[in-house]
C-alpha cells in the first residue's frame, strides 16, 4: 500500500484529496496543514511521496521543499507540488526547484491518484 | 520532471464528480429539471438525485463528500465573496489599500484552486481573472511581476465579482 503525505493549509483540499486517494487508490494518507508540520510528519512517517501546496502562510511549498532537500531524513521522498498557478513562468520556476512533478488545482478527485502515479512512474 | 497537463478542465478527462456533475447526472437520469436543492444552490445529495445504476461506491463516497463540504463551506464562501465585494468597491473608487488588495488576492487564489473541484469551472475561471487583476505590481525573486493593474482593470473587478456571485449563487 502506498503512503502519501498531503500538505495544504486548506481543510477542504486536504479532505477531498485524502478521501480521493484512500477511496480510489486504497492508499494510506497522512496530512499536515503547514510546511513545518509537514516536515515533521514526513520525518516520522516516511511516506512514499508528498503532495504539497505551493501557496501556504508562513513557510510556503517551495521553501518547505528546499528545507526538505537539506534534511537527510526526508530528502529522498519525492515531492509533487500542487498549485493553482497555471502560468508557464510559475511552472518553470517550480520545475527548477527539482520537484518530482507539478499538479494543478482544481484537481479532479476521481483522477488524482492516477495523475500522481503517472508523475511518479508507479504502476 | 513531469508536469501533468491533465486537469479538471481537460475535456478528455471523464469527469463524473462534483456539484456540476450532480446536475448532469440528474438530467441524464431522466429528471427533466434541476432538483430544488440545486436551484437554491444547495448541493444535490444522493437522496434527491437519480444516480447511474453502475456507479462505483468509491465515486459515490467522493461525490457525497464534495456535496457535504460545499454545504459546510457556504458561510465561509459568502464571507470571502463579501471581502471581494468590498475590495472591488474600494478599487472602483480608487481607495483600495494594500492590505485589502493582498487579502482579496489571497481569497481569489483559494477560490481559483477550489471551485472547480466542486464542479464550478466557470467560478475558477473568474477567480483567476480576479487574481490576475489583484496580483502585486512589484516583482520579487520568487514572484515575477505580472501585468500591472490599471484603473480600467480595477473597475472591471466589480463586474467580475458580480459574475462570480451570479455563477455560485444564481438565485440570489
ipTM surpassing 0.90, yes or no?
A: no
Rg (CA), chain A: 13
Q: Is B12 in the A-facing interface, judged by CB distances under 8 Å? A: no
- How far is it, in rounded angstroms, from Cα B76 to Cα B118? 15
Rounded to two decimals, what is the model's pTM?
0.75
Mean pLDDT along residues A66-89: 92
Name residues 51-70 of chain B within 8 A of A (Cβ). Answer: 58-59, 61-62, 65-66, 69
pLDDT at B144 over 70: no
Mean pLDDT within A105-123: 93
Choose the closest CB to B61 out of A10, A19, A101.
A19
Taking the C-alpha atoms of residue B40 and residue B94, their distance in angstroms, rounded to an integer, is: 35
Give the best residue of B5, B112, B117, B128 to mutate against chain A (max A CB count within 10 A): B117
Q: CA–CA separation, A66 vs A97, rounded Å?
A: 8
**Chain-chain contact of B117 with A103 (C-beta, under 8 angstroms):** no
Q: Cell numbers 478599487 label which residue?
A: B91
pLDDT band at B32 (very low <50, low <70, confident <90, very high): very low
B4–A115: do the CB atoms touch at under 8 Å?
A: yes
> Pick from B16, B59, B113: which is nearest to A106 by CB?
B113
CB contact under 8 A, B62 and A89: no
pLDDT at B1: 54
Chain B hits for A79, CB-CB cut-off 8 Å, are: none
- Least confident window among A31-35, A95-99, B15-19: B15-19
* DSSP secondary structure of A102-119: EEESSP-TTTHHHHHHHH
Half-sphere exposure of B144 (CA within 13 A, CB side): 10
Distance between CA atoms of B72 and B76, rounded to whole angstroms?
8
Higher-confidence position of B11 and B170? B170
B22, pLDDT greater than 70: no
Write the pLDDT tens digit of every residue in B103-143: 999 999 999 999 999 999 999 999 999 999 998 654 444 44
Q: Work out the percent of chain B whose per-residue pLDDT is above 90.
A: 39
Amino acid at each position: 500500500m502506498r503512503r502519501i503525505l498531503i500538505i495544504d493549509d486548506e481543510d477542504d483540499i486536504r479532505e477531498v484529496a485524502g478521501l480521493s486517494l484512500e477511496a480510489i487508490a486504497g492508499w494510506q494518507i497522512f496530512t499536515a496543514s503547514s510546511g513545518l508540520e509537514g516536515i515533521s510528519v514526513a520525518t516520522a512517517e516516511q511516506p512514499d511521496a508528498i503532495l504539497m501546496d505551493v501557496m501556504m502562510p508562513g513557510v510556503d511549498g517551495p521553501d518547505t521543499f528546499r528545507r526538505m532537500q537539506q534534511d537527510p531524513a526526508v530528502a529522498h521522498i519525492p515531492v509533487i507540488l500542487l498549485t493553482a498557478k497555471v502560468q508557464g513562468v510559475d511552472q518553470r520556476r517550480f520545475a527548477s526547484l527539482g520537484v518530482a512533478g507539478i499538479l494543478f488545482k482544481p484537481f479532479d478527485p476521481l483522477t488524482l491518484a492516477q495523475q500522481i502515479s503517472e508523475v511518479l512512474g508507479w504502476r | 520532471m513531469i508536469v501533468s497537463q491533465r486537469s479538471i478542465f481537460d475535456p478528455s478527462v471523464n469527469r463524473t464528480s462534483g456539484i456540476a456533475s450532480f446536475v448532469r447526472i440528474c438530467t441524464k437520469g431522466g429528471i427533466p429539471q434541476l432538483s430544488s436543492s440545486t436551484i437554491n444552490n444547495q448541493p444535490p445529495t444522493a437522496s434527491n438525485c437519480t444516480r447511474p445504476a453502475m456507479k462505483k461506491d468509491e465515486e459515490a463516497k467522493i461525490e457525497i463528500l464534495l456535496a457535504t463540504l460545499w454545504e459546510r463551506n457556504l458561510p465561509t464562501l459568502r464571507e470571502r465573496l463579501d471581502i471581494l465585494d468590498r475590495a472591488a468597491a474600494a478599487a472602483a473608487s480608487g481607495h483600495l489599500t494594500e492590505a485589502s488588495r493582498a487579502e482579496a488576492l489571497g481569497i481569489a487564489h483559494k477560490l481559483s484552486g477550489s471551485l472547480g473541484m466542486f464542479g464550478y469551472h466557470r467560478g475558477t475561471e473568474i477567480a483567476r481573472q480576479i487574481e490576475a487583476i489583484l496580483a502585486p505590481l512589484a516583482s520579487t525573486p520568487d514572484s515575477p511581476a505580472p501585468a500591472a493593474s490599471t484603473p480600467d482593470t480595477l473597475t472591471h473587478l466589480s463586474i467580475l465579482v458580480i459574475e462570480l456571485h451570479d455563477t455560485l449563487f444564481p438565485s440570489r
